């Protein structure tokens, strides 16, 4: 089935954070500003999800609902099995309203006050926020960038893991914002370093369905069968553009971790529309996701061509995963503030600027490429205007 991913949908008037609340990021955003910041798609949700929601709405009552059914869990674990050959036991799964709230809970439950949690800047900025908010120490193992390609500094990571005060690591896989899809060798090495040093490993794999052609995502936990200290965070939100449904699935194979979780969050239930949407997404939308990935391949290639042809001082490497492009604009010699000011004031376009992801991101910006091609073309033209 073909999907019209070039369709531009007016999202204003829908309480869209991305389109209607740009002032949360910049007070200078205007009605005409084009948003490329929040990581949700501007594509319509899969038709099967929309149809399932219509059917559920037609039932007319939206009382307390429970997701704890064979149908629901078979949909979730069936997706894991089909797409990644990853076998997950139903009893190892818990739900959360999102991956960030889940990570916040895990940090509070499984680490002590003042202990260190390792992250790899430039990385998704809520990691540092929830670590600090829990009274823990943010410990940075910066990625190494060379010619736009990022790799892990394993020697430094091993040194940090040996320090007894560092008790957890949060891995971003695929990595947001740099777009790396970690190889088997990289994942095994980071896993061994953490496990051999008693460091709990939390793997945020929320983007694991969104992978470029010729790349393959490997689930970290699946590479360590029988190991119960690896926690995997997933969600249908990025894959199916359903972040507003507020549903994430956390794989907790260790029994005492699950008991601690259930003591704090075990009362949570999904709303009835989320249940219907998740079941449809994970059972009927394989082809839609394949089509989205092909479209994203084209959008990423478009960005790369545009940069090479029109932005001679910029550097770009096509991401291996996610729908986010990471653009190096250090060649323009602008400070982070000057760069941000130009984008919003001269270009009238709003990006997540690189310094949000740590000081290692200064001079970069993140482009959300999950949009119809005409919107992406306008986004790049406005960026070029801002830099001219």
Question: What was the pLDDT predicted at 154?
Answer: 98
The whole-number average pLDDT for the span 1-6 is 87
The whole-number average pLDDT for the span 214-241 is 97
> What are the sequence ranges of the domains in the chain?
17-45+287-387, 51-284
How big, in percent rounded to 5, are the helix, strand and coil portions of the chain?
45, 15, 40
Question: What was the pLDDT predicted at 2?
Answer: 77
Q: What is the pLDDT of residues 8-46, one digit of tens each?
A: 999 999 999 999 999 999 999 999 999 999 999 999 999
The answer to whether residue 266 scores a pLDDT higher than 90 is: no
The answer to whether residue 97 scores a pLDDT higher than 80 is: yes
Question: What was the pLDDT predicted at 246?
Answer: 97
Helix ranges (DSSP H) in the chain: 17-20, 47-57, 70-84, 99-110, 126-133, 154-162, 184-196, 237-240, 255-265, 272-284, 286-310, 336-341, 373-387
Provide the token pair at 210.
């969104």
Question: What was the pLDDT predicted at 267?
Answer: 85
Angle (CA) 239-242-248 rounded to 5° is 80
The whole-number average pLDDT for the span 83-107 is 97
Q: What is the pLDDT of residues 136-169, one digit of tens each?
A: 999 999 999 999 999 999 999 999 999 999 999 9
Question: What was the pLDDT predicted at 12?
Answer: 97
User: Where is 353: in which H helix or E strand?
Assistant: strand 349-353
51-284: which CATH topology?
Answer: 3.40.640
The domain over range 17-45+287-387 is classified in CATH as 3.30.365.10? no
The answer to whether residue 1 scores a pLDDT higher than 80 is: no
Q: What is the pLDDT of residues 188-211, one digit of tens each?
A: 999 999 999 999 999 999 999 999
The answer to whether residue 278 scores a pLDDT higher than 80 is: yes
Q: What is the DSSP letter of 114?
A: T
Average pLDDT, the chain: 97
Closest CA to 290 of 233, 177, 212: 212
Question: What was the pLDDT predicted at 120?
Answer: 98
Q: What is the pLDDT of residues 116-136, one digit of tens each?
A: 999 999 999 999 999 999 999
């Amino acid at each position: 089935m073909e999907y019209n991913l070039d369709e531009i949908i007016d999202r204003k008037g829908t309480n869209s954070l991305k389109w209607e609340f740009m002032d949360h990021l910049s007070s200078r955003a205007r009605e005409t500003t084009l948003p490329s910041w929040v990581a949700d798609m501007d594509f319509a949700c899969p038709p099967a999800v929309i149809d399932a929601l219509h059917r559920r709405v037609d039932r007319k009552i939206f009382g307390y609902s429970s997701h704890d059914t064979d149908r629901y869990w078979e949909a979730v674990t069936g997706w894991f099995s089909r797409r990644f050959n990853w076998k997950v036991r139903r009893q190892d799964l818990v739900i959360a309203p999102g991956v960030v709230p889940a990570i916040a809970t895990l940090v509070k439950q499984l680490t002590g006050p003042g202990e260190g949690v390792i992250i790899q800047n430039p990385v998704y900025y809520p990691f540092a926020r929830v670590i600090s908010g829990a009274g823990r120490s943010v410990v940075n193992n910066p990625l190494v960038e060379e010619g736009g390609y990022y790799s892990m500094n394993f020697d430094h990571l091993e040194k940090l893991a040996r320090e007894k005060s560092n008790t957890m690591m949060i891995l971003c896989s695929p990595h947001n914002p740099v777009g790396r899809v970690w190889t088997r060798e990289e994942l095994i090495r980071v896993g061994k370093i953490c496990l051999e040093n008693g460091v709990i490993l939390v793997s945020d794999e929320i983007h694991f369905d969104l992978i470029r052609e010729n790349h393959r995502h490997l689930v970290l936990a699946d590479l360590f069968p029988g190991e119960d200290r690896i926690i995997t965070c997933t969600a249908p939100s990025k894959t199916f553009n359903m972040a507003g449904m507020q549903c994430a699935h956390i794989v907790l194979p260790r029994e005492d971790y699950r008991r601690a979780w259930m003591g704090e969050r075990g009362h949570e239930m999904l709303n009835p529309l989320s249940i219907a949407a998740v079941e449809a997404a994970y059972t009927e939308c394989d082809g839609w996701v394949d089509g989205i990935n092909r479209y994203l391949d084209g959008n990423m290639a478009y960005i790369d061509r545009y940069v090479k042809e029109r932005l001679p001082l910029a550097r770009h490497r096509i991401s291996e995963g996610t729908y986010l492009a990471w653009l190096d604009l250090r060649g323009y010699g602008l400070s982070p503030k000057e760069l941000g000011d130009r984008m919003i004031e001269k270009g009238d376009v709003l990006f997540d600027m690189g310094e949000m992801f740590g000081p290692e991101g200064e001079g970069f910006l993140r482009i959300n490429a999950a949009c119809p091609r005409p919107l992406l073309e306008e986004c790049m033209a406005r960026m070029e205007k801002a830099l001219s």
